[in-house]
Chain A
Amino acid sequence: MLWVWRLWMRLQTLVRRPQVARQLDDEIQFHLEQQITENVAAGMSREEARHAALRTFGNPTVLKEETRETWGWMWLQQIIRDLRYTARTLRRAPGFALAVILVMALGIGANTALFTIVRSVLLKPLPFGDAKRLVMLYEVTGDGKYPYNVVAGGIFEAWQKETQSFEQLAIWGGSGYTLSGRTGQLPEQLQGTTCSWNLFPTLGVQPALGRGFEASDDQPSANATVVLSWGLWKRRFGSDPAIVGKNIHLDAKAYTVIGVMPSWFVYPDADTQLWTAIYHEAPPQVMKDLDNHNFLVVGRLKRGATMDQGRKEADTIVKRLRDQYPFLAAIGRGANARWLFDDVVGDYRTPLYVLLAATGCVLLIACLNIANLLVARSSARRKEIAIRSALGGSRWSVIREQVMESLVLSLASGVVGLAFAYRALDWVIRTRQDMARVDTIHVDTVVLLFAAGITFLSGMFAGGVSALSCGDATGLEALQQSSRTHSGGQRKARLRRTLLSVEVGLTVVLLVAAGLLLKSYKTLRSVDLGCITQGVLTMHLALPDARYHAPMQKAELFERLIAEVRRLPGVQKAGLVTVLPGEGHGGDNMFTIIEHPPLPKGEMEYALRRGVEPGYFEAMGIPLLRGRTFLDGERLERATSVIVSDLFVRRFLPKEDPIGRHIRVNIDGAGPKDYLIVGVVGDSRSLMSRPSEPMMYFPLYRGVFERAAIAVRSSQDATSMALPIQKLIAQIDEDLAVFHVLTMEQVIGRSTTDVSFNAELTLAFAVLSLLLASVGLYGVLSYLVAQRTNEIGVRMALGAQRDQVLRMTLADGLRPAALGLVLGLAGGVVTAKMIRDLLYGVQPLDASVFAAVAILLLGVASAACLLPAWRASRLDPMVALRAE
């Protein structure tokens, strides 16, 4: 129980400190009295007795001090004293304290937020069982242009049978489903994933409720089954556990719900709301085709097997099949593999690290600035510090005070910064729903430790730099320097200039990165999509196969729909297309031109595929360059014409009249058919960030497409058309789900979110750094001028002109800025090369960006230096000399 006693004693000396101290005084007093009494008894005079007693006792003050040290808590006492001192210092300059706290809070907050994102998205493993063994397998296209192409069903079958390195191989594809409304609910279009029964076991996950697929569910003859996502189950079925075993209607067909996945399970992406069995859903032929690339393949490596072994096995199989079936032109030429983790987060790695680096720079600049300010303040206190050290104050206590001051500042900043980080994360999660794993972003203990760590480091860094700079100036020299004013303190100014150059350099690097990203974004936004984008409202609908199975049913619905939409008041133009410009790839087909000689083996031609109704081109303002659009009579079996894009002609029919040529293509999986080219239209892009690609437009009324987007141009605000059109669709068929109701501007916005996000954030950080650096410049130069007031006065008294003084002072301030600029531009070149992948339509060494940054920086630096320099040139020599 000894430790209890010791703890109790410790607490006593802490809590009852004044009392304990008084008792010690009393105790020692008693001792001395006893000794004096004894001495007097031995015959000394009262005065002699007292001196003798003190002699035998020793110095009471020192001994009390030593005794107090045995009580412990000395460190606490010191800290409290330092804290009190710091609080007093800061209270004397509240503006300074507030500014420092704000700037540092921004830096700490931004870093914490970015670190949280990087940690959640890039550093944490995927939440699957033993995720380190999960890989994605891809095919290499026959022409070798796309090394990571989607996989054909037949190839997967071969891989599954013949590879040895994998415990499991699973296949999946995306598929949309219309969930029919139950009583009072609207029908809804859902993103689903069709997968082989073993997808969940491959990933190492279990349903939270019910069961996963079994092999018996995953065949054409099985009953239709579906596994729901947690979100869908909660939202649409009120978290009713009895749903397992019941039927729901997807695309107007009954599916038995067999399970519900856990809430954290997000695969392949957060949009996926349900899973169905692929061999039950997909046409059997598609699952056998070797050259019809539709699916993604994920595998779990056996323990001890490497990814490269798996890749080689898959590669050999594809090569063998290619040799075995030489007449299949579109068959792949090999296989590729990458880790599932890289597959999921690959696109976000560089941008996130770039942003993290940018915030790191901002924090570093903030710290440098604060160090700078602290150095300035400590140099104002030179004399005081020198006197203190002359009187025996330890150098350590001076340093400790400085560090304590910046630690207090950084601690306050850390608290504010953490609040700021929470807000920032909230904003990022809301604006970047498209980012992989965005749902996993949250603040945890590690993040809090990180925040505490950078807070502490920032404080130590800023305080340490300034403490070290004053640490060696505590001697006689400092006293001499400050007793006789001359342009002293040059050494300290050198330190501050160096800090400043580093600051400016970092700022320039940030500005270069921001400039390049911003220019990319501008270039991207100014891309001509090839169609009208203003005042266009779009929405999608999908026809459930059960109700619209025959081509005629599809064609009739689309025809009736667009006719009624065009009749709505306010509608100027309307059209239907399977995939809108800017919405992505949307599917392609191989084709041959009948009039041309066969291509050499291994070569093939393909173009993007769209289905359109005749009025689409006019509605979207896509110009008809040659020939005609589809005729009213071209429906169903008679719809055998095709319209191609300008680029299609330039690439595949460059020196001939395209009108009248035939292409042979298999658009519906029902075998190749011939289509007559009747028209040529202008190019439109599948994505803002991709160059135009050759495109083929087939008649929508052929009845092979079951999805379409309506594009409407209106005389009024386009968004006001959304409701009347949705009502109209509900009238035609109340089970038709309408989704993605967006204006064309929003469609474009969605495809450029990440670019604008990166550009805007980097720009914000760069501007902040520029501001900080210019404040730093201003501060340093003001300080230098104040230091040299006397010297300038002498110079002017001796005949120096005011503009000479102005020039001299300006040069003094601009020198570190220029040095920083040179360093920064060099750093910018390196950075630009590292972020090459994030740029669009801009060279990494874009001269205009670098020039603009240099001019901007010099301009801002001059502005920051001008005021102090001007003040120096306005000095009255008499006043300056008298200031001594």
Chain B
Amino acid sequence: MSKPSDLVQGTLDLLILKTISLEPKHGWAIAKRIQQISGEVLQVQQGSLYPALHRLEQQGWIKAKWIETETGRQAKFYSLTAAGRAQLQKEAANWNRLSTAINLVVRTT
């Protein structure tokens, strides 16, 4: 099982922001989505999402709302704020720059 430290520092934030950028999701759905999309490559320890979610919420990049699910249970749904959207763009751009650079290095040597 992968530990959060296996992810590059700060990428978990990016993953979360990206995942909820289309529609609000609750914690479990976010974890599932990351696993699915990455073709099960990114095995995030599910629990470690929560410190990250709360930190992002504290920073004002995401906001939470308690909404009833289809099963009739209350769940906490996270969505992006305007600041979060800007942050997502910034981090995505950063990530692109970084991965391109690393790719270049890996390819040329």
Instruction: Say yes or no: A9-B57 contact (C-beta < 8 A), given A2-B83, A27-B76.
Output: yes
Instruction: Say yes or no: A30-B75 contact (C-beta < 8 A), given A2-B60, A55-B1, A71-B58.
Output: yes
The answer to whether A23 and B76 touch across the interface, beta carbons within 8 angstroms, is: yes
A396 within 8 A of B: no
Shortest CB distance A54–B (Å): 9
Binary interface encoding of chain B residues 16-59 relative to chain A, with 1 for a CB under 8 A from any of its CBs, else 0 = 00000000001110010000000000000111101100110111
A85 within 8 A of B: no
B73 within 8 A of A: yes
A433 within 8 A of B: no
- Interface segment, A59-67, A91-99, A639-647? A59-67
B74 within 8 A of A: yes
The CA of A27 and the CA of B69, in the complex, are separated in Å by 13
Binary interface encoding of chain B residues 66-96 relative to chain A, with 1 for a CB under 8 A from any of its CBs, else 0 = 1000000111100001010000000000000
The CA of A66 and the CA of B47, in the complex, are separated in Å by 10
Shortest CB distance B30–A (Å): 10
With a 10 A CB-CB cut-off, give which of B28, B59, B81, B83 has the most chain A CB atoms.
B28
The answer to whether B60 and A9 touch across the interface, beta carbons within 8 angstroms, is: yes
The answer to whether A63 and B51 touch across the interface, beta carbons within 8 angstroms, is: yes
The CA of A10 and the CA of B1, in the complex, are separated in Å by 34
Instruction: Say yes or no: A67-B50 contact (C-beta < 8 A), given A9-B58, A31-B27, A34-B28.
Output: yes
Shortest CB distance A446–B (Å): 39
The answer to whether A67 and B57 touch across the interface, beta carbons within 8 angstroms, is: no
Residue in A13, A31, A66 whose CB lies within 8 Å of B28: A31
The CA of A9 and the CA of B57, in the complex, are separated in Å by 8
The answer to whether B48 and A63 touch across the interface, beta carbons within 8 angstroms, is: yes
Shortest CB distance B66–A (Å): 8
Instruction: Say yes or no: A70-B51 contact (C-beta < 8 A), given A6-B60, A26-B74, A55-B1.
Output: yes
| Residues of A1-28 whose CB lies within 8 A of B | 2, 5-6, 9-10, 13, 23-24, 26-28
The answer to whether A27 and B46 touch across the interface, beta carbons within 8 angstroms, is: no
The answer to whether A69 and B46 touch across the interface, beta carbons within 8 angstroms, is: no
The answer to whether A5 and B60 touch across the interface, beta carbons within 8 angstroms, is: yes
Instruction: Say yes or no: A67-B54 contact (C-beta < 8 A), given A2-B83, A30-B26, A30-B28.
Output: yes
The answer to whether B47 and A70 touch across the interface, beta carbons within 8 angstroms, is: no
Residues of A within 8 A of B74 (CB): 26, 30
User: Residue on A with the closest CB to B60?
Assistant: A5
A633 within 8 A of B: no
A57 within 8 A of B: yes
Chain B interface, number of residues (Cβ within 8 angstroms):
24
Chain A at the B interface: mostly helix, strand, loop or mixed? helix
Residues of A within 8 A of B47 (CB): 28, 57-60, 63
Binary interface encoding of chain A residues 39-69 relative to chain B, with 1 for a CB under 8 A from any of its CBs, else 0 = 0000000000000000111111001101101
The answer to whether B58 and A24 touch across the interface, beta carbons within 8 angstroms, is: no
The answer to whether A69 and B45 touch across the interface, beta carbons within 8 angstroms, is: no
- Number of contacts between A and B (CB, 8 Å)? 76
The answer to whether A57 and B45 touch across the interface, beta carbons within 8 angstroms, is: yes
A72 within 8 A of B: yes
A35 within 8 A of B: yes
Binary interface encoding of chain A residues 380-391 relative to chain B, with 1 for a CB under 8 A from any of its CBs, else 0 = 000000000000
The answer to whether A6 and B59 touch across the interface, beta carbons within 8 angstroms, is: yes
Residues of B within 8 A of A24 (CB): 50, 54
The answer to whether A10 and B58 touch across the interface, beta carbons within 8 angstroms, is: yes
Residue in A34, A69, A72 whose CB lies within 8 Å of B51: A69
The CA of A28 and the CA of B27, in the complex, are separated in Å by 8
The CA of A15 and the CA of B59, in the complex, are separated in Å by 18
Instruction: Say yes or no: A35-B50 contact (C-beta < 8 A), given A2-B60, A23-B76.
Output: no
The CA of A35 and the CA of B35, in the complex, are separated in Å by 13
The CA of A58 and the CA of B59, in the complex, are separated in Å by 25
The CA of A27 and the CA of B47, in the complex, are separated in Å by 11
Chain A interface, number of residues (Cβ within 8 angstroms):
30
Residues of A within 8 A of B45 (CB): 56-58
Residues of B within 8 A of A69 (CB): 51
With a 10 A CB-CB cut-off, give which of B48, B50, B59, B76 has the most chain A CB atoms.
B50
The CA of A9 and the CA of B54, in the complex, are separated in Å by 10
Residues of A within 8 A of B26 (CB): 27, 30-31
The answer to whether B1 and A27 touch across the interface, beta carbons within 8 angstroms, is: no
User: Residue on A with the closest CB to B73?
Assistant: A30
Residue in B50, B81, B83 whose CB lies within 8 Å of A28: B50
The CA of A35 and the CA of B31, in the complex, are separated in Å by 10
Residues of A within 8 A of B57 (CB): 9
The CA of A69 and the CA of B45, in the complex, are separated in Å by 18
The answer to whether B28 and A63 touch across the interface, beta carbons within 8 angstroms, is: no
Shortest CB distance B77–A (Å): 10
Shortest CB distance B35–A (Å): 10
Shortest CB distance A52–B (Å): 11
The answer to whether B59 and A31 touch across the interface, beta carbons within 8 angstroms, is: no
The CA of A23 and the CA of B57, in the complex, are separated in Å by 14
Residue in A2, A56, A66 whose CB lies within 8 Å of B1: A56
User: Residue on B with the closest CB to A31?
Assistant: B28
Shortest CB distance A652–B (Å): 94
User: Residue on B with the closest CB to A54?
Assistant: B47
Shortest CB distance A415–B (Å): 36
Residues of B within 8 A of A56 (CB): 1, 45-46
Shortest CB distance B58–A (Å): 5
The CA of A9 and the CA of B1, in the complex, are separated in Å by 33
Shortest CB distance B36–A (Å): 12
Shortest CB distance B92–A (Å): 19
Shortest CB distance B56–A (Å): 9
Residues of B within 8 A of A33 (CB): 73
The CA of A33 and the CA of B76, in the complex, are separated in Å by 14
| Residues of A113-166 whose CB lies within 8 A of B | none
Residues of A within 8 A of B46 (CB): 31, 35, 56-58
The CA of A56 and the CA of B32, in the complex, are separated in Å by 11
The answer to whether A70 and B55 touch across the interface, beta carbons within 8 angstroms, is: yes
Shortest CB distance A354–B (Å): 56
Shortest CB distance B76–A (Å): 5
The CA of A35 and the CA of B26, in the complex, are separated in Å by 13
The CA of A657 and the CA of B10, in the complex, are separated in Å by 110
The CA of A66 and the CA of B5, in the complex, are separated in Å by 14
Residues of B within 8 A of A27 (CB): 26-27, 50, 75-76
Residues of A within 8 A of B58 (CB): 6, 9-10, 13, 70-72
The answer to whether A63 and B50 touch across the interface, beta carbons within 8 angstroms, is: yes
The CA of A24 and the CA of B27, in the complex, are separated in Å by 11
Instruction: Say yes or no: A70-B27 contact (C-beta < 8 A), given A26-B74, A27-B76, A57-B47.
Output: no
The CA of A56 and the CA of B34, in the complex, are separated in Å by 14
The CA of A31 and the CA of B76, in the complex, are separated in Å by 10
The answer to whether B28 and A58 touch across the interface, beta carbons within 8 angstroms, is: no
The answer to whether A67 and B27 touch across the interface, beta carbons within 8 angstroms, is: no
Shortest CB distance B57–A (Å): 7
The CA of A278 and the CA of B59, in the complex, are separated in Å by 75
Shortest CB distance B106–A (Å): 31
Residues of B within 8 A of A71 (CB): 54, 58
Shortest CB distance B48–A (Å): 6
The answer to whether A35 and B59 touch across the interface, beta carbons within 8 angstroms, is: no
Residues of B within 8 A of A23 (CB): 66, 76
Instruction: Say yes or no: A35-B1 contact (C-beta < 8 A), given A56-B45, A63-B50, A72-B58.
Output: no
Give residues in A with beta carbon < 8 Å to B: 2, 5-6, 9-10, 13, 23-24, 26-28, 30-31, 33-35, 55-60, 63-64, 66-67, 69-72
* 5 additional A-B residue pairs with CB within 8 Å, beyond A6-B58, A6-B59, A58-B45: A30-B74, A31-B26, A66-B50, A67-B51, A70-B54
Shortest 7 CB-CB contacts between residues of A and residues of B = A58-B47, A63-B47, A5-B60, A34-B28, A70-B55, A66-B51, A57-B47
Give residues in B with beta carbon < 8 Å to A: 1, 26-28, 31, 45-48, 50-51, 54-55, 57-60, 66, 73-76, 81, 83
Sample (21) of A-B pairs whose CB atoms are under 8 Å apart: A2-B83, A5-B60, A5-B81, A23-B66, A26-B76, A27-B75, A27-B76, A28-B47, A30-B28, A55-B1, A56-B1, A57-B45, A60-B47, A63-B48, A66-B48, A66-B51, A67-B51, A67-B54, A69-B51, A71-B54, A71-B58
